[in-house]
Amino acid sequence: MPPRDRPPEKPRSPAGAAALAAPAPLSRPLLAAGLVSLAVYVAVMTLFKMSNNDIWIHLKTGEYVLTHGWVPIKDPYSFIAADHDYVAHEWLAGVLFYLVYAPFGVPGLIFFKAGILAASNASLYAAARALRSRLSVILPAFACLLYIASARYLERPQQGRAFTGP
């Protein structure tokens, strides 16, 4: 028995339903070239020398939390300000970064960043394909998105660019 709040659906022809089901597929070589070029672009945009000074305080805070078992509430790093409140609002990211840094060092952090970026792009790609978007639209949109976001690819919890002055 059909629900009362919806009118009964009109039957569709099989040809019309197939046309609405999926966009025309691209050839395999073109699909492979697009995905490989996107992966290379992700690698090029994220694999560069780590020049962010902010990462070291996050690594030290992560080490502190893992060593002591709690988040510091007083500044543990300064002799002069040892009695001042210390707000480690990014402590969990510091722990995660330290867990990567301890065994793999700076290259591990750089590759971790590339992995996070690749995983987020893979999930966006999967969502776009689930919404039946065409690859000819997805790949240029991703390239534009990666270029725009490239200023935020630093090893920091808030992923921002450091102030460089006027």
DSSP 87-99: --TTHHHHHHHHH
For residues 76, 77, 80, 86, the Cα torsion angle rounded to the nearest 10 degrees is -50
What is the C-alpha separation between 151 and 105, in angstroms, rounded? Answer: 23
What is the C-alpha separation between 12 and 29, in angstroms, rounded? Answer: 34
With a cut of 90, say whether residue 133 has pLDDT above it.
no
> What average pLDDT does this structure show over 39-50?
68
> What average pLDDT does this structure show over 110-138?
82
> What average pLDDT does this structure show over 96-114?
90
What is the C-alpha separation between 47 and 33, in angstroms, rounded? Answer: 21
What is the C-alpha separation between 107 and 59, in angstroms, rounded? Answer: 14
Tell me how many degrees the CA angle 73-76-77 measures, rounded to the nearest 5.
Answer: 140
